[in-house]
Amino acid sequence: MAMTPLWQQVNRWRVIPRLMAAMYGYVCWDAYSWITTLADPTSQQVTFATAIWGGAAAWFGFYVKSGSND
């Protein structure tokens, strides 16, 4: 059995896409925590939080479509 190079194993495990998805999940949670603590958020603040959450759909799509090309 031949050893698989590290870069191929990292690609197979999809480490980078998983890390990016996890980091974006943290950003979404942080935006949620921030917007819910505001007593009376302005429309700009709500738009900002909505844009972050809307971007989560795009990140999820990128993650799902980033499968290995093996």
pLDDT attached to residue 7? 82
pLDDT attached to residue 1? 56
pLDDT attached to residue 53? 92
Q: What does residue 9 show for φ and ψ, rounded to 5 degrees? A: -65, -40
In a domain, 60, yes or no: yes
* Number of domains composing the chain: 1
In a domain, 5, yes or no: no
**pLDDT averages per 10-residue partition of the chain, 70 residues:** 78 82 92 96 96 88 70
Its domain, for residue 59, covers 16-65
In a domain, 8, yes or no: no
pLDDT attached to residue 69? 59
In a domain, 4, yes or no: no
In a domain, 26, yes or no: yes
In a domain, 6, yes or no: no
Q: What does residue 32 show for φ and ψ, rounded to 5 degrees? A: -65, -45
pLDDT attached to residue 18? 84
pLDDT attached to residue 48? 96
pLDDT attached to residue 60? 81
In a domain, 21, yes or no: yes
In a domain, 52, yes or no: yes
